[in-house]
Amino acid sequence: MDTPKNIFSLTALTRSIERLVQNQLGDRLFWIVAEVVKIQEKNGHNYLHLVDSEEGKTTAEMDATLWFTTFNRINTKLNNELPGILAKGNKVLLQVKVEFHAVFGMKLNVFDVDPSITYGEIEKLKKETLDRLQKEGLLYLQKQLYLPPMIKKIGIIGSPNSSGYRDFINELFENQIFSNFKVKGFPTRVQGEKAENEIVKAILKAQAYNLDVLVIIRGGGSKMDLNLFNHYNIAKAISESKIPVITGIGHESDDVLSDHVAHISQITPTAVAKFIYLRVGIFKTSVDDAFNKIVSNSERLVSQKKELFKQLSNYIVFYAQETLVVNRNLLRENIHLLHVLSNERFEIERSSLRMKLTKIGHYAINKIELKKNTELFSTMDKIDILTSNTLRQNHVKLDNLNTLLELLNPEELLKKGYTISTINKVDINKFTGELIGSEMKTLTANKVIVSEITKVK
């Protein structure tokens, strides 16, 4: 026989669990360590989703509630750092009370927050990130870049609505030393979940511009707020920037990793602006001092050289006059000597030329006589022979032509019995009209025969 079943409603069961929790745990408070994986704010209340894990596997998971009044109390006690402590991904130490509700289930009610675990975790992650940057050779890349003494083109990464951004701009353009700057802004958030990605993108975007320096500024904040600038991605982007980076995060004591990897770091945005215009001022002062020294030294050298030039000028005038007299006499002697030598040389060359002309005349006469006696007679004989041959050949050709002409003479052909027939003075072989009935004339050696054509074969 089946045992009777004890049947309860769900309400009865949940109320029983509620009484059990209340009796066993009551108003006891527990300090727990967990990781915040999700946080949502609604009407001033904060709803957290907490997890715990071992060896990478989730071992516990529960929701917690931090009511508005409790949040304000704890946040005031922690100098407004509570939002940063409860950020997604942080490990937190919470004082909680276990509560069970028949409709909403098991939840934790947060009564207090101890930041020591979160701070310790931040420092641990910060050291790990620092070691990673050093291992990857990124820690000192910025220090190797050249920072020009005359900084004029400035890129600014930060929130334009923040007081730190405004302080930087005011200090940069309202000082009495130098204010002729060109500024390119890259607006980003400097807190919140999206801030990291926006800052990295802004650093990468700035590389496409011709900038002397890239400034990253934030107007102060709590330890948790500034933890953003300990993130690896931001530090890596700063390290790999081809533009020198100056940070002015706004912290008074603790530095952040972005300060470590930057070319130069300053405490506040205002300090960054002062550093820039003072650097320009120092450079201008150095240039002015150098220019004044150059002018002073130039004037002194010009004065010295002017006196030396005057002395040398007097010496040159005296020496030139003396040299001119000596060289004038020497020139006269050389002109006379040149005239004598020229006349002698002219006579020698004239005699030599006469002798050569006489030799050339005799040689030419002999050459002409030789040509006349040999080549001329030979040429005449050749002309006679060629003339005789040509005349003989032409005489033979003429006889042949006469013979051919006699052969082709129509009278001779007619005498041999040949006749010539025409119709209307057209050779019968070339006539194209009707032959029958036409009158044909036939020429013989001694008569003309006229006939009528009656038949053609």
* Cα separation, 33 vs 93, whole angstroms: 5
- pLDDT number for residue 339: 80
Q: Is the per-residue pLDDT at 405 higher than 70?
A: yes
Domain range summary for the chain, segments of one domain joined by +: 10-114, 138-283, 413-452
DSSP 95-151: EEEEEEETTTEEEEEEEEEETHHHHHHHHHHHHHHHHHHHHTT-TTTGGGS---SS-
* Cα separation, 377 vs 374, whole angstroms: 6
* Cα separation, 369 vs 360, whole angstroms: 14
By three-state DSSP, how is residue 211 classified? coil
- pLDDT number for residue 145: 95
* Cα separation, 419 vs 427, whole angstroms: 11
Q: Which of these, 43, 125, 60, lies nearest to 90 by C-alpha position? A: 125
For residue 347, the surrounding DSSP H or E stretch is helix 269-371
Provide the token pair at 355. 């002798």
Split at pLDDT 50, 70, 90, the class of 21 is confident
DSSP 373-437: IIIIHHHHHHHHHHHHHHHHHHHHHHHHHHHHHHHH-HHHHHHTT--EEEETTEETTT--S--TT
By three-state DSSP, how is residue 449 classified? strand
Q: Is the per-residue pLDDT at 1 higher than 60?
A: no
Which CATH number is 10-114 given? 2.40.50.140
Residue 103 or 49, more confident: 49
Q: Output the average pLDDT for the chain.
A: 85
* CATH architecture entry for 138-283: 3-Layer(aba) Sandwich (3.40)
Q: Which of these, 256, 226, 213, 283, lies nearest to 127 by C-alpha position? A: 256
Give pLDDT tens digits for 196-233.
999 999 999 999 999 999 999 987 666 777 888 989 99
Q: Which of these, 37, 114, 110, lies nearest to 71 by C-alpha position? A: 110
Query: Do 10-114 and 138-283 have matching folds?
Result: no
Spatial contact of 95 and 114, defined as CB atoms under 8 Å apart: yes
pTM above 0.75, yes or no: no
Q: Which of these, 230, 235, 242, lies nearest to 205 by C-alpha position? A: 242
Exposed, middle or buried by CB within 10 Å (0-12, 13-18, 19+), for 252? Answer: exposed
Max mean pLDDT among 125-129, 185-189, 337-341 falls in: 185-189
Split at pLDDT 50, 70, 90, the class of 114 is confident
Average pLDDT over every residue of 294-310: 80
Max mean pLDDT among 38-52, 332-346, 400-414 falls in: 38-52
Spatial contact of 262 and 245, defined as CB atoms under 8 Å apart: yes
Spatial contact of 50 and 34, defined as CB atoms under 8 Å apart: yes
Alpha helix (H) residue ranges in 187-264: 195-206, 223-226, 232-239, 257-261
